[in-house]
Amino acid sequence: MFLRRLWLDHFRNYRSLDLTFPQPWTLLQGGNAQGKTNLLEAIHYLATSKSSHARVEREVVGWSASEEPIPHARIRGQVERAGQVTELEILFTRRAQGNGFTKQVRINGVARRSLDLLGLLRAVLFMPQDIELVTGSPSIRRRYLDVALCQIDREYCRHLARYQKVLAHRNSLLRQLREGGARPGEPRVAAELGFWDEQLAEHGAHVLARRYAFLARLEPLAAAQHHLLSGCQERLHILYLPTFDPGHLGPQGLQELRAGHYRAPRAPLSPPVPAELAGRLQAHLETHRARELAAGATLAGPHRDDLVFLLDDRELRAYGSRGQQRTAALALKLAEVRAMAAETGDTPVLLLDDVMSELDARRREMVLEALSEVDQAILTATDWEDFTPGFRAQAYRLQVVAGQVRAGGKD
């Protein structure tokens, strides 16, 4: 998979950009706040139809957009895959009311749904703040799973979107029932929640089963990467922390997870199947009616789950050093590249945002090795010296200055 060409209009600090990528490796050099990250964000946006870090669509529309008669921003890219060229486009235009922007997706010039975009361009983005995968809040780890899985599995994305809709309805209903003083045993509670329980369990089960299955493939790859990166003998493990009993952990396994007694699994677990998970989630919802009514919110399901990283039996988040956490995050990202390649039969575009400066020589070498496995990689750096002369010679070099990109730079 290869991104041949990228156009940007009024995307963040880019007024207008037309960029060609002639070589497998592209190296973007520039000072701080010149637009290196924005460029990678635009590519990642094209792959996922979501921003890697903006919370609202409005944020990605640059100030220069207001000079246009109709304020807008555009990301357009040409993707080549098996000799076929596809043109992807995301257009942001101002809503008729309010100051928000709406997002339109076009594929080869034809208006399509955001969902149709997924899988046409796959990308893995690694940024310095990705250390938060290990140290940050659970929502960051759920997001990691969602972004990775949506790119390889359209069904996952469909179930996830439906799940989130059902969840919003169900939470509203629980709140209304709480305010109305409803009791768990009342027939109207079961009658009104019934449909939402069923739907939540059905779509939640698909989301969960696909997460478990993905993790089963990702985990050994991440462990192998980690071993190569760190050279240490401790093995990296990733545990999935569910909010209800998925059945395959055994009563003791679940209790230990709940109590925070994490230990490396002795043998790989076979991932559970959706039909069974749905039954278990629905049963869980029914037995925890009183708690959910008191909270006025849905307390179990994939929207509350988490991942735990272990080095042997030691939890990385609590006991790992900063360096160990960073290595684990990088291992996870490199494993994602391989998992995606294995899953889809073609490698994602690897986007590395200013990661070299933080790594020692050994880890840099490992990253460069990963680069040779993908069809295309786009890297940013503040300093040309972050890369060896040998690497620089092989890369297509660009300089980013104040939202403009020009070819050339130190050889």
Partner 1 sequence: MAEPLAQPVSNLIQAFSRLPGIGPKTASRLAYFLLRADDEIALNLARALEELKARTLFCSVCLNIADQDPCRLCADPQRDPTVICVVEEPLDVQAIERTREFRGVYHVLHGAISPVEGIGPEDLKVRELMARVRRSLETETPVQELIVATNPNLEGEATAMYLARLFKPLGLRVTRLARGLPTGGDLEYADESTLANALTGRSEL
The residues of the shown chain that bind partner 1, judged by CB under 8 A, are 154-155, 158, 162, 165-166, 168-173, 176, 191-192, 194-196, 198-199
Query: What is the C-alpha to C-alpha distance for residues 274 and 203, in angstroms, rounded to an integer?
Result: 9
Please say which residue, 216 or 299, places its beta carbon nearer to partner 1. 299
Question: Nearer to partner 1 by C-beta: 113 or 258?
Answer: 113
DSSP state for residue 273 in the 8-state scheme:
P
In sign, the C-alpha dihedral spanning 370, 374, 378, 383 is positive
Q: Residue 179 or residue 411: which is nearer to partner 1 going by CB?
A: 179
C-alpha dihedral, 383 to 387 to 389 to 395, nearest 10°: -100
User: Are 151 and 348 a contacting pair, CB within 8 Å?
Assistant: yes
- Minimum CB separation from partner 1 for residue 74, in Å? 26
Q: Can you read off the two tokens belonging to residue 340?
A: 């995606």
Question: Which CB sits closer to partner 1, 5 or 112?
Answer: 112
Minimum CB separation of residue 282 from partner 1 in Å reads 14
Angle at 113 between CA 108 and CA 115, to 5 degrees: 105
The residue among 175 and 235 lying less far from partner 1, judged by its C-beta, is 175
**Token pair recorded at residue 255:** 């209790």
Min CB(199)–partner 1 separation in Å:
8
DSSP codes joined into one string, 131-184: GHHHHS-HHHHHHHHHHHHHHH-HHHHHHHHHHHHHHHHHHHHHHHHHHTT--T
Measured from the CB of residue 43, what is the shortest distance to partner 1 in angstroms?
27
Residue with smaller CB distance to partner 1, 191 or 361: 191
Contact 48, 151 (CB under 8 A): yes
Buried b (16+ CB within 10 A) or exposed e, 147-172: bbbbbbbeebbebbebbeebbeebbe
Rounded to a whole number of angstroms, the minimum distance from the CB of residue 299 to partner 1 is: 17
Cβ neighbours of 132 (radius 10 Å): 15
Cβ closest to partner 1, residue 192 vs residue 306: 192
Dist. CA 37–CA 267, nearest whole Å = 41
How near is the Cβ of 173 to partner 1 at its closest, in Å?
4
Please give the backbone phi and psi of residue 183, each rounded to the nearest 5 degrees, phi first.
-105, 150
CB of 195 to partner 1, least distance (A): 4
DSSP state of 342: H
Smallest distance, Å, CB 48 to partner 1? 19
175: burial class by Cβ within 10 Å (0-12, 13-18, 19+)? middle
Q: Which is nearer to partner 1, 53 or 95 (CB)?
A: 95
Query: CB-wise, 84 or 97, nearer to partner 1?
Result: 97
CA 19, 24, 30, 33 torsion-angle sign: positive
Shortest Å distance, C-beta 147 to partner 1: 21
- Least distance between partner 1 and beta carbon 63 (Å): 28
The H or E element that residue 222 is part of is helix 187-230
Token representation of residue 391: 């690497």
Q: Which is nearer to partner 1, 194 or 265 (CB)?
A: 194
DSSP code of residue 313: T
